[in-house]
Each structure stands twice: as structure tokens, then as C-alpha cells.
Chain A
Amino acid sequence: MIKTSRKNKVKTGVADNVTNIIIYVVIGLIGIATVLPFLYVAAGSFATDKELTERAFFIIPSVWSLNAYKYAVNNGNIMLGLWNSIKLTAFGVFTSMAFSLTFAYPLSKSHLRGRNIILNLVIVTMLFSGGLIPTYLVMQAYGLYDTYAVLILMGAISPFNMIIIKNFFQELPKELEEAALIDGSNEIKTFFKIALPLSKPVIASISLFYGVGYWNDYFNAMIYLNTPKKYTVQIILRNIILLASNISDAALDYYDMNGAPPDKAVKMAATVIATVPILCVYPFIQKYFAQGVMVGAVKG
């Protein structure tokens, strides 16, 4: 009996191996195809404009050149945008984490009176919002137009992220906190001394979520920022790429005022510069985000 089934296994094994190889190759190709646009743009940013017009497609430039980056660095706008985005992201992550952690901690206590009312009011905002125009007018009324504060405060607490943190706090062993409380500590001290040190994984993953959100935000920055000196790297990149694709009238006005459109390699260099910071934190995202997603899946 056992022998025949073994034979069976070997028999199907041959056909199986062919299918296996096909699957491995297809999956590999999907993986490569996903990053191919990046590879091309990265290669192009180091190539000369001559090569970019002469060769159809390449991953390794035949002549390496740093001209595009020199232009991008000297141009100033990109570097300023980069610096603005770094500032926005740093302050944003700090603010968001401070708000989210302090809000999530009391809500993680099942005995807290009023907890359900607050949680329901939070969940309502996940389903319904004032929308673009009322929010815009209210922010203007607060005097927050054209400030970084509006970009940070508007999304200071993401209900989704806050609930992930809350669920994580709920899973912490209660004994430590209870022991500390009996030893005469108060709840804010237990929060700082016990809950936070035990919550490093969730702090890391949610910080990354917030950070990626602040870094990538384009729409809000475009709506609320008015002073070109405050523009984030996403706005600058959009202007460099889209203004040069000569579709809109604004683009034509721009050429009239500023001369020729940026060279192809410069556009590519700008794309790379805006992407690199995300790729730098990507290994950390990889490490933590699955954890974060899983923690979020645990229902509270």
C-alpha cells in the first residue's frame, strides 16, 4: 500500500516539477516587473541625455554621469522640498504618536467609564467626515491656512492606527500594571514606565505608518500650502514632472517664464531623490508592518 502511494507521488512529481518551474519563473517575472520602472528611472538618472534619447531601454547606463544630480542639488527647489518634507514628517510622527498613544491607553482599559461612547464617536469618524470643503473652511477659520500645523493636526490621530494601538495595549499582561498600581504608582506613571516600554513593536510599526503617510501626502499639502518656500518634495516633484509634460496651459506659461523644461535625466533624478527616503526605511517597514497588520487583525 505504502509503496504504491510512494510510486504515485513520484509519478505526479515529474509533471509537478514542470508546473513548479513555470510558477517559480512567472512569480520571479512578476517581482522583477514590479521594480523594473524604478530600475529604469534610477539608471536613467545616472545617464547622459544623449544616451536617454538614443537607447530605448537600459538598466545600466554605458556612460555614467552625475550631471542630473548636480543640477537637482543646485536647483535648490528639490533640496528645499526634501528638507521641508523631512521636517513635516518628523514633527508629524512625533505629534501623531503622542496624541494616539495617550488617547489609546485609557481606551484600552475595559473598566473605563464612558469608553464605549468615545470609541463609538471615534468609529463614526471612520465612516463619515465633513469632507473637503467644510474642513477647508474650518481650517481657514482656525487660521491654519498655509502652515505645516494644518497638515499635522488634521490627521494627528488616525482612528484606524489608534485602534491598533489600543488593541495592543489590551493584550499586554495586566499583572505588571496592577502590581505597580498597588505599589503606589499612578496611571500616568504606569503608562510611561510599563506600558510604553512593552509596546516597542507597535510604536515602531505605527510610527512608520504615520511617517509614510506624512511623507507621501500630496493632496493636502497642495490645497493648504500657498508659499512656494513651504512646498514639500511631493509638490516639487509633481511640478517638475507634470509641468514638463506640456499638457496644461500652466505648463506653457511656466516655460515662457523659466525657459526650457528640465532635462529628462533631471526628472528622473528628482524621482529618485523623492523615492530614496522611503526605500531607506523600507527594511524596517518590512520588519514591523506585518506585525502591525496582524495586531490590527486581533479584534478588541
Chain B
Amino acid sequence: MKSKQEQNKKVKKAVFNDSKMSTLTYMRVHKWLYIMLIPGVLYFIMFRYIPIGGLIIAFKNYSPFRGIWKSDWVGLDNFKQFFDTKDFWILLRNTLGISLLQLVIYFPAPIILSLFLNEIKHMGYKRIVQTLVYIPHFISWVIVASLTYQLLNTNDGVVTYIFNTFGITMPEILSKGKYFWGLIVGQDIWKETGYGTIIFLAALSGVNQEMYEAARVDGAGRWKMMWYITLPAIKGTVIMMLILRVGSLLNTGYEQIFLMRNDINISYADVFDTYIYTKGIKNGKYSFSAAAGMFKSVVGMIMVLGANKIAKKAGETGIY
């Protein structure tokens, strides 16, 4: 009985008086918390940090027979080689081309859709439409690619049939390089516009409905209310999303591009990630591709952090 009381005291102390303990006592009292951390910590070391350490092969001439440690150091040769290739500029052009097109066309799409959805007062109808437009977000890129081929291919795609019925020749969207960027952005719009509305609709749900009532009583029309009430309500969210989008200009979705890329459109379709895959895993130029990957990761990280800093300065809450 007494011992139980003592134990209670100890635990009470553990729960309420942590700050006064020495670290060793603290760790003994909370040993289960530390034991629970072990699998996660091991995971982050083995599957996140050791691969980061593996980046040293970017400064080596990796040979599969000698392994990561015993391969020779070559300094910055791999990076120099990468920047000297014509490929580098093509990759940069394609990545930025796709990203900027996304920024101009795909970025505003969810904002416009949520403004429209916000106008719908019939909740059942709104929910049905939302259910439909969220679906593609959960579909794999393989299925998106499959649907695209079945719709657009020039042999037996359904759009080709429809075009033919009207006497129009179907452009070779799937193989001609000049259509590739548009194709990718089109897929993005179809897949993510609906899901993208969630964050804006959440911002809109915080708007006090009485403001609309008051505006209506004052004789404000639909456009005035949109301009003076709805848009200011999502302005902050829009600015933050825009800054973050600019910060991730280098991160074009590689699974998507990889699936739509082929031997004919490759000069417009190759971006950093697909190039790293081809050169590294297919052609075995491990160190060269690791250098290319490291360049992309470092520049990408600087851009994301920079964007986040700007977002914070602009008075929005950043992500990191």
C-alpha cells in the first residue's frame, strides 16, 4: 500500500514536475516514450539520412565493384560535366517551360472553380459536384496516362473519332513534342483542379455570411460582393499558394512526365528527374546522375526556403 503511494508520488512528479528533473531521471521516468521513438529514429537514419550521405558519390567516380566508400574522389568533375552538356539547358528549358505554363494556366483554375462553387447555395448540388471533381486526385498517374491514350491516340482514340466526324484532322498530341507541355498541364488541370479547391473553400467557409446579407441590403450585386468580400477572404491563401508554387518551380511531377514521355517527344519532355533516371539507372552513370540530382535538390531547397521566407514576410504563416 505504501509502495503504491510512493509510486503515485513518483508518477505525479513525472507528469507535473518534469522540468526539475535531471535528464537522466527524466529519461528513466519516461522510458516508454523513448522506446517508442526507436523504430522511427532508425527509419529516418536508414532510409532518409544514409541516402543523403550517399550523395558523396556525386563527388566520386562510383564503380559498382568498389562500392560507395572505395570509389575514387573526383571533386566537382561530375557537376562540370553536367553543366557542360547541351542536355542541361534543354532540361532547364523544359522544366521551366512546364512550370511556368502550370503557373499561368493551372494555378488559377482551382481559384476560379472555388469562386463558382461558392456561389452555389444548394448544398446537396454543391456536394455532388465536389464529390465528382475530387475523384481524379485519388487516381494513379498510370490510369491518367491510360485514359489519355485511350482518348487522344491517333489510331483509335475516341477524340480522334469525334474530330474525324467533323472532318478535322486530329493533331498528334501524344507524339509531337510541341504539344507535350500543354498535354502535361491539361492532365494537371483535370486531375488536381477539384482537389485544389479545398484550401480555398476552407478559407471561404470562414467568411461571416452576415457580411453578404449586409452587402445585399446595401444593394451590392453579385460581382461587387465577389470583389469586396469573397476575394479579400481568400487573398492571403492565394498569395501563399502562389509563393510556394514559385518556390517549387523545379519540381515538375516526374511520374506523370515519365509516363507520357516517349522516344519522339523526348526533346520537349525530358526534365531533371526523368533524365536522372535514364542516365543513372538505365545507363549506369551513377555519379553523373547523382550530381545532376544533387544540383536539382539543392537549388530546389533554396527556392522553397526562399519562397517560404517571403511568405512569412508577407504576413502569412509559412509551411516550415
A residues bordering B, Cβ < 8 Å? 5, 8-9, 12, 16, 19-20, 23-24, 26-28, 30-32, 34-35, 37-38, 40-41, 44, 52-53, 56-57, 98-100, 102-103, 105-107, 109, 111-113, 118, 121-123, 125-138, 141-142, 153-154, 156-157, 162, 178, 181-182, 184, 186-188, 191, 212, 215-219, 223, 234-235, 237-238, 241-242, 245-249, 264, 267-268, 270-271, 274-275, 278-279, 282, 285-286, 290, 293-294, 297, 299
The 10 closest A-B pairs by CB, nearest first: A103-B40, A134-B54, A130-B51, A216-B140, A131-B293, A106-B33, A187-B32, A56-B161, A31-B132, A31-B129
B244 at the interface (CB under 8 A from A): no
Q: Are A294 and B202 neighbours in the complex by a CB distance under 8 Å?
A: yes
* Cβ–Cβ < 8 Å partners of A57 in chain B: 158, 161-162
Q: Does A186 lie within 8 Å of B151, measured CB to CB?
A: no
Chain A to chain B contacts (Cβ below 8 Å), 26 pairs: A9-B216, A31-B132, A52-B156, A112-B30, A118-B41, A123-B320, A128-B297, A129-B51, A131-B55, A133-B281, A136-B280, A142-B46, A212-B138, A215-B140, A216-B142, A218-B259, A219-B254, A223-B281, A238-B142, A242-B149, A242-B259, A245-B149, A245-B174, A248-B263, A274-B142, A278-B140
Q: Distance (Å) between the CB of A189 and the closest chain B CB? A: 8
Chain A residues with CB under 8 A of B44: 121-122, 125, 157
Cross-chain contact A187 with B30 (CB below 8 angstroms):
yes
Residue of A nearest to B290 (CB): A133
A48 to B40 alpha-carbon distance, docked (Å): 52
8 Å CB contact of A249 from B48, B128, B263: B263
Q: Is the interface of B mostly helix, strand, loop or mixed?
A: helix
Q: Which residues of B in the span 277-320 have a Cβ within 8 Å of any Cβ on A?
A: 277, 280-281, 286, 289-290, 293-294, 296-298, 301, 304-305, 317, 320
**Distance in Å: Cβ of B69 to nearest Cβ of chain A:** 10
Q: Which partner residue on chain B sits nearest A162 by CB separation?
A: B40
CA of A136 to CA of B47, assembled, Å = 11
Residue B98, interface by CB 8 Å? no
Residues of A within 8 A of B134 (CB): 286
**Are B23 and A299 touching (Cβ within 8 A)?**
no
B139 within 8 A of A: yes
Residues of chain A lying within 8 A (CB to CB) of residue B11: 181-182, 184
Binds A, one of B79-87, B88-96, B115-123, B227-235: B115-123
Number of contacting residues on B, CB 8 A?
Answer: 109
Q: Are B43 and A274 touching (Cβ within 8 A)?
A: no
Q: Do A237 and B143 form a contact, CB below 8 Å, given A128-B297, A184-B8?
A: yes
Looking at the complex, which one of A102, A157, A282 makes contact with B36 (CB distance below 8 Å)?
A102
Q: Are B68 and A285 in contact (CB under 8 A)?
A: no
Query: Are B135 and A282 in touch, CB under 8 angstroms?
Result: yes
> What distance in Å separates the Cβ of A89 from its nearest Cβ neighbour in chain B?
12
> Which residue of chain A is the closest to B122 with respect to CB atoms?
A24
Asked if residues B39 and A103 are in contact (CB atoms below 8 Å), the reply is yes
B14 part of interface (Cβ distance < 8 Å):
yes
Contact of B101 with A by CB under 8 A: no
Asked if residues B289 and A242 are in contact (CB atoms below 8 Å), the reply is: no
CB distance from A37 to the nearest CB of B (A): 5
From B14, B54, B165, B305, A56 is in contact (CB under 8 Å) with: B165
CB pair B41 A131 closer than 8 Å: no
Taking CB atoms, residues of chain B closer than 8 Å to A157 are 40, 43-44
Q: Check A56 against B158 for contact (C-beta < 8 Å).
A: yes
- How far apart sit A92 and B38, CA to CA, in the bound complex (Å)? 19
Nearest A residue to B163, CB-CB? A56
Instruction: Give the docked Cα–Cα distance between A135 and B138 (Å).
Output: 26
Nearest opposing residue in chain A for B9, CB measure: A182
Check A127/B149 contact, CB under 8 A, given A5-B217, A103-B39, A218-B255.
Answer: no
